[in-house]
Amino acid sequence: MLLARMFNALDRLRAPRPVSAHCDLPCGVYDPAQARVEAESIKAIMEKFNASDDPYFRDRATLIKEQRAEECNHHLDVLWYQYFQPAHLEKYPQLHELFWSTKKLTSQAKRANDVAIADQLLAKINEIADIFWETKKA
């Protein structure tokens, strides 16, 4: 049994994971990784900001983080209003609140350099990703 599951896991490892983007055509391709990559970038920028005392570097970090947070919010937006359908909402009634609080975190991530915010943002995006991949399997 265990072995069978392991082989299945290996299989999934090798097969390129079905990827996902967006566009409202809709093209049908979506992937929570797009939001997650931006959130990782936000966290890395915060860490570099906190580790530096160069005002010029901090200026650049600030403006770049603003853009990354905007991109992160955009990718979340696409998942929320383009990908998810009424049937998903019925099964996962927490979706609205989950997206709202996650997007609120992108605002907070702009307004400060507290790495804990970035960690919460990443955790929320993982929650969203788990639901997303469950709906894909269904």
Q: Residue 94 gets which letter from DSSP?
A: T
- For residue 116, the partner it binds in a second copy, Ni ion, none, with Cβ less than 5 to 8 A by kind, is none
Which of the residues 88 through 117 are near a second copy (CB under 8 A)?
96-97, 100, 103-104, 106-107, 110-113
Binding mask 6-45 for Ni ion (x = CB under 5 A): ----------------xx---x------------------
Distances (CA, A) of 80 to 11, 56, 69, 126, 130: 30, 36, 16, 14, 14
Task: Answer positive or negative: Cα dihedral of 126, 79, 101, 98.
Answer: negative
For residues 29, 30, 33, 38, the Cα torsion angle rounded to the nearest 10 degrees is: 110
Residues of the shown chain interacting with a second copy in the complex, contacts defined by CB under 8 A: 6-7, 9-10, 12-13, 16, 19-29, 31, 33-34, 36-38, 40-41, 44-45, 48, 55-56, 58-64, 66-68, 73, 77, 80-82, 96-97, 100, 103-104, 106-107, 110-113, 126
